[in-house]
Copies of this chain bind each other. A is one copy, B any other.
């Protein structure tokens, strides 16, 4: 759904500035509304076409207090993380505009141009596809992605290089290629054209026109961003509740048996996690008191706290609510260690947020696909995603709630909210059934551990991790 480009005429600068500021303030004012948007402007192009100049001029026309400009140096694509991951901390909150030089497209072009091995076309294409899907998900989650290519003819580029002093030339080499090399220039143009068909292309030849096109296009996109995407909520086909969720196993392991097994398993898990070259994401979901914390405790038993991160996921903070719901997970993964453990996860979107109405039907329905793409993207980048649903019976939950209430130092674990959630038990089961049906993928399958016996559950979790690390 790329917007058509506006027709372009040179305009009075003061009036353009006024319009930009008005649009910017309107965007800002809407920051906490349901249709709040942010603008992420990705800027790429030929060196010396005037990207930097256009950004500086834009900064003067708009209120610079609410404009962020970000530039990370391009790097070759890393096999261990999705190409977009390193840029996520800089994503604008709703109401904000962020101009970002390069971003994932610079990395992609840098890799295509610099790689010592020729870049396989199929790989290149698969990256573009993954990026497009990712951007689509950003757009659905209120980040307008605006892509602008600054072009410049070979002749003009050479002329501009001629007019620079040696010192300036050196600077511009920093950011990329040898701009005196015609063959390289032609290759870059060929490669980038496979990316930029739906981009807004600005010819850097005429400086005034360049700056105005840049500003006018962004203005247009801010104004467009107010338009509601028509929402179609399709009738939802509820998946049947799997039998093991309704009737978890009741067989109990004796304490002796458990103790004999668990110590050895904890040791093996620690060894495998530690030796693993890939990243590992362990994701725990399950009803309250289903034993997530207890299982995690046995996983880390023989690890050092410096080897993993545990993320206990609660309600998002205000600044997180102003970004896509996956954002707080992206940023955690981006800076984390090799072993990442989540006590509750991004599946909150299709569980609590669905049930409590924090996510509207079209939002949580769309979330299954978004989550699948997220996990697939991780899995394609040397990350093993292991997801657990810990299922217990409703009676067992009650027993555990009461046991907690009668133990002083465990009482904090049980609140009125837990009892309120419990009242929605059946609805949670429905949501779980849908979740399992829609997000158990080949690369990131759900492991349902359905038992009322804590000991059995923990043993099963550890065994599953061992299996996944051996087999994957």
Contacts and interface: CB of A to CB of B under 8 A. Distances in A.
B306 A167 contact: no
Nearest to A22: B412
Given A56-B300, A65-B314, A17 B409 contact: yes
Interface residues of A, number: 45
A273 to B, nearest CB: 12
Interface string A59-100: 111011100010100000000000000000000000000010
Interface string A394-414: 000000000000011100110
A409 B18 contact: yes
A61 B61 CA distance: 56
Interface in A18-35: 18, 21, 25
Interface string A378-420: 0000000000000000000000000000011100110000000
Contacts of A64: 293, 310, 312, 343
Nearest to A271: B167
Interface in A129-185: 167, 171, 175
A318 interface: yes
Given A60-B297, A408-B14, A101 B69 contact: no
Nearest to A16: B409
B305 A409 contact: no
Contacts of A18: 408-409
A306 B71 contact: yes
Closest 9 CB pairs of A and B: A17-B409, A71-B306, A52-B304, A18-B409, A65-B312, A55-B305, A14-B409, A21-B412, A18-B408
